[in-house]
Amino acid sequence: MNFSNLPLGVFDSGIGGLTVVKEIFQQLPNEKIIYFGDTARVPYGTKSKETVTRFSLEIVHFLQKKQVKLIIVACNTASAYALDELKNKFKKIPIIGVIEPGTRAALEKTSTGKIGLIGTEGTIRSKTYERTFKKLNLGKSSIKVFSHPCPLFVPLVEEGWLTKEVTYRIAEEYLSPLKKEKIDVLLLGCTHYPLLKTVIHKVVGEEVTIIDSASETVKEVKRLLEEKNLLRENRISPRHLFYVSDAPEKFQSLSKHFLGSDYKKIAPIHLKSF
Amino acid sequence: MNFSNLPLGVFDSGIGGLTVVKEIFQQLPNEKIIYFGDTARVPYGTKSKETVTRFSLEIVHFLQKKQVKLIIVACNTASAYALDELKNKFKKIPIIGVIEPGTRAALEKTSTGKIGLIGTEGTIRSKTYERTFKKLNLGKSSIKVFSHPCPLFVPLVEEGWLTKEVTYRIAEEYLSPLKKEKIDVLLLGCTHYPLLKTVIHKVVGEEVTIIDSASETVKEVKRLLEEKNLLRENRISPRHLFYVSDAPEKFQSLSKHFLGSDYKKIAPIHLKSF
């Protein structure tokens, strides 16, 4: 069997993981994607480690049955809470989260060592990023991470209020404590947040480098596929599959925000068993 | 078997249904409650009719097995989307939603016939309130309903931002179109919204009567229990059971916002099978 021809599995609590899909379209245009968005149970960011881990195990089990060659956990909360357990339970398949790639990029970009981190309640509470910064920062000068949960950012994105006055106000409320610490890098620890980049930049200042983990994660996936000789080389343009656990209409219409004109590649399939 | 001694079943997508529980504590202090909060899958307001109906059927099945004498659907979205199907599938047990009682109260209170209605995306999209207004308004003068979905209100309540400046701004955004229509009654079509009453009153003006369906719903339950001779008369103070599908800590801590000092009556039990 030619494993390289198998699809990449990608999952998220809902639609946020499409920021990762967009990067795959750009960096790995030959790859086939099987996406799962848990839109019936979204969001994960406000829920417990136990529940998020249970949901993630169910989804990886589903993707494994679909015969994917690699799985990307395109959700920060699931990566923060469940990645270790997923790797333990599914040893035969490489599973990549969004936290290590984002952390690595933040470490590369900071000059002052003062890094801001925003994410869901769950991601911040888990302290997974802090542990990852410690793990990856071997030998570098001191790093200080200032973190803040932004629970209203996901509903704002889902509402499509990307640049409203109210959105600025909420961003100021969340981000001004980080600004006061004079961070030089801000890591967006949630796959929804890149859609609020304009507002976030305006609040923290143009001099702060904003990092979203989608691009970094796909770079790492590319490296890994190259290393394992698993890049798809078939020239027939790939057919993607998008599964959602709630009715597909909303996913379809919101996908425009995330994918621009690429949204046409999406025809979500409703899975009623989740 | 003495049916009157059986508990009342109450369910909601999460914690919002506690506004109904509070009313039961006040109006029916002898009654035992079995509550189910679907905190692992909250919110319902942004999800499809099909998904909300499937979840509601599962929960009513659970409550029925617990032998309750009556079920209150303490969630507007579930009432709007699923009440008819629940009544059809579970004919042996009276099931009461929050929509008819709220509608009846709004009809009683309006002088001008101009009624504002706010709720989740799902509740507003379903048009169930409009149909109920028509059904209950037989013989009365003309009624005009002006409705607006307020998808950020639930996350604001869950964030505990009950009176912040940002909350006023968001409320202005949502409510100013209703204010312009010179409504004299505003119906809160979501069990979370009573916690934002201060802000909402300030935005729409003190002259507008605000109606939340919790109080009206429990009045109707009381009437029905009296009629069927099902009021619990046992003098032993009732022991309540609160089940949640996510870990119980957050439910417990947020319950203070909803119940004041009565939150001590709550020790949520985690059900992992949902």
- Rounded mean pLDDT, B77-100: 97
Is A141 a residue whose pLDDT tops 80? Answer: no
Instruction: State whether residue A84 sits within 8 Å of chain B by CB.
Output: no
Residue A64 shares a structural domain with residue A198: no
Contacts of B16 in chain A (CB under 8 A): none
Instruction: State whether residue B176 sits within 8 Å of chain A by CB.
Output: no
Residue A114 shares a structural domain with residue A197: yes
Is A139 a residue whose pLDDT tops 70? Answer: no
Residue A108 shares a structural domain with residue A206: yes
- Taking each helix axis as running N to C, give the angle between helix A49-65 and helix A76-89, from 0 to 180 degrees, rounded to the nearest 10: 60
Residue A89 shares a structural domain with residue A220: yes
Pairing outcome for strands B8-12 and A95-97: unpaired
Residue A116 shares a structural domain with residue A209: yes
Contacts of B54 in chain A (CB under 8 A): 272
Is A160 a residue whose pLDDT tops 90? Answer: no
Is A155 a residue whose pLDDT tops 80? Answer: yes
Inter-chain touch A166–B158, beta carbons under 8 Å: no
Is B198 a residue whose pLDDT tops 70? Answer: yes
> What is the total residue count of chain B?
274
For residue A234, what pLDDT is reported? 76
pLDDT range class, residue A158, cuts 50, 70, 90: confident
Indicate the helix (H) or strand (E) that contains A188.
strand A185-189
Name every residue whose Cβ is closer than 8 Å to that of residue A269 and which is 6 or more positions away in sequence.
A241, A242, A243, A244, A248
Catalytic-role residue among B20, B33, B86, B190: B190
For residue B159, what pLDDT is reported? 83
Which residue in this structure is represented by tokens 């839109």?
A: A39
- Rounded mean pLDDT, A59-72: 98
Q: Which of A167, A187, A213 is the last residue of a domain?
A: A213
Catalytic residue status for A190: yes
Which residue in this structure is represented by tokens 């119940």?
A: B259
Is B141 a residue whose pLDDT tops 80? Answer: no
Residue A209: what are its φ and ψ, rounded to 5°? -80, 125
For residue A159, what pLDDT is reported? 83
Pairing outcome for strands A144-149 and A185-189: unpaired
Check: complex ipTM more than 0.85: yes
Q: What is the largest distance, in Å, between two alpha-carbon atoms of chain B?
A: 56
Residue B85 shares a structural domain with residue B114: no
CATH number of the domain residue B128 falls in: 3.40.50.1860
Contacts of B41 in chain A (CB under 8 A): 40-41
Residue A91 shares a structural domain with residue A225: yes
Helix, strand, or coil here: A243?
strand
Is A86 a residue whose pLDDT tops 90? Answer: yes
Instruction: State whether residue A152 sits within 8 Å of chain B by CB.
Output: yes
Mean residue pLDDT across chain A:
95
For residue B185, what pLDDT is reported? 98
How far apart, in whole angstroms, are the C-alpha atoms of residue B149 and residue B122?
Answer: 8
User: What's the DSSP call for residue B248?
Assistant: S
**Closest residue by Cα to residue A98 from A119, A124, A121, A80:** A80
For residue A187, what pLDDT is reported? 98
The answer to whether the peptide bond before residue A177 is cis (omega within 30 degrees of 0) is: no
Instruction: State whether residue B91 sits within 8 Å of chain A by CB.
Output: no
pLDDT range class, residue B140, cuts 50, 70, 90: low
The pLDDT tens digits for B205-222 are 999 999 999 999 999 999
Residue B209 shares a structural domain with residue B104: yes
Residue B109 shares a structural domain with residue B205: yes
Is B139 a residue whose pLDDT tops 70? Answer: no
The β-bridge partners of A211 are: A187
Residue B195 shares a structural domain with residue B226: no
* Cβ-contact B93, B70 below 8 angstroms: yes
Is B233 a residue whose pLDDT tops 70? Answer: yes
The pLDDT tens digits for A163-208 are 999 999 999 999 999 999 999 999 999 999 999 999 999 999 999 9
| Domain membership of residue B36 as a residue range | 3-97+215-270
Instruction: State whether residue A109 sits within 8 Å of chain B by CB.
Output: no
The pLDDT tens digits for A3-16 are 999 999 999 999 99
Indicate the helix (H) or strand (E) that contains B177.
helix B165-180
For residue B1, what pLDDT is reported? 72
Residue A120 shares a structural domain with residue A204: yes
Is A270 a residue whose pLDDT tops 90? Answer: yes
Rg (CA), chain A: 18
Q: Which of B169, B189, B213 is the last residue of a domain?
A: B213
Catalytic-role residue among B8, B33, B72, B75: B75
Residue A182 shares a structural domain with residue A208: yes
Mean residue pLDDT across chain B:
95
Instruction: For A247, name the nearest residue in chain B, comparing CA atoms only.
Output: B48
Whole-prediction pTM: 0.95
Is A226 a residue whose pLDDT tops 80? Answer: yes
Instruction: For B55, name the nearest residue in chain A, comparing CA atoms only.
Output: A40
Work out how many domains chain A is built from and give that number.
2
Name every residue whose Cβ is closer than 8 Å to that of residue A42 and which is 6 or more positions away in sequence.
A13, A14, A15, A246, B46
Which residue in this structure is represented by tokens 């480690």?
A: A49
Is B237 a residue whose pLDDT tops 90? Answer: no
Indicate the helix (H) or strand (E) that contains A219.
helix A213-227
A-B CB pairs within 8 A amount to 70
- The HSE-up count of residue A171 (CA atoms within 13 Å, CB side) is 23
**Closest residue by Cα to residue A39 from B46, B157, B246, B274:** B46
Catalytic residue status for A75: yes
